[in-house]
Amino acid sequence: MQQEPRSKFIFLMIVILFLIIFFGAYITKSSASEKGNAEAGKKIYDARCGLCHGAAGKGDGPAGASLNPKAADFTDKAKMNKSDDELFKLISDGVKGTAMMGFASSLSEQERQDVIAYIRTFSKK
C-alpha cells in the first residue's frame, strides 16, 4: 500500500522536473531575444550589414556576391538556431576566415543586441 503513494510522488516529481526544464529553456530563449529592439536593429543592419547580408537577410547583398565563403543567410532556420550569446560573440568578434569583421569597437552592446533582435525576424518569416 505504501508503494503506490511513493510511485505517484516520483511520477509527479518527474513531471514537475520536465516542466521546469521545458519552460525554463523557453523563458531563457524568449528573454534573451527581448534584450534587443528589432526596430533599432533594422536601422543599424541597413547601414552596416545589408551590403553583404542583403536587404532580406539571405546573404545576397551587393558586396556579398563576391564573398567566399558567402555571407550568412539569416533566413535559414537551421543556421539561426544559435543562441543570442553565440550571435553576440560572432557580431562582436567577427568570424575568422571570412569577411565578417567584429563590431565590438564600433557598436555598443545594446546596438549589437538590437541587431540580433532584428536578424531573428528573418528566420521567423
**Confidence grade of residue 22 (pLDDT, cut at 50, 70, 90):** confident
Q: Vertex 123, ends 29 and 27: CA angle to 5°?
A: 10
Domain that holds residue 2: 1-34
83 and 110 in a single domain? The answer is yes
Q: What stretches of 34-108 show up as alpha helix (H) in DSSP?
A: 38-48, 50-53, 84-93
Residue 14 has pLDDT above 50, yes or no: yes
Percentage of the residues of the chain whose pLDDT score is greater than 90? 65
Query: For the domain that residue 103 is a member of, what is the CATH number?
Result: 1.10.760.10
State pLDDT tens for residues 63-88.
988 999 999 999 999 889 999 999 99
- Rg over alpha carbons for the chain, rounded to the nearest Å, is 20
State pLDDT tens for residues 51-61.
999 999 999 99
Could you give the CA distance from residue 56 to residue 119 in angstroms, rounded to a whole number? Answer: 9
42 and 22 in a single domain? The answer is no
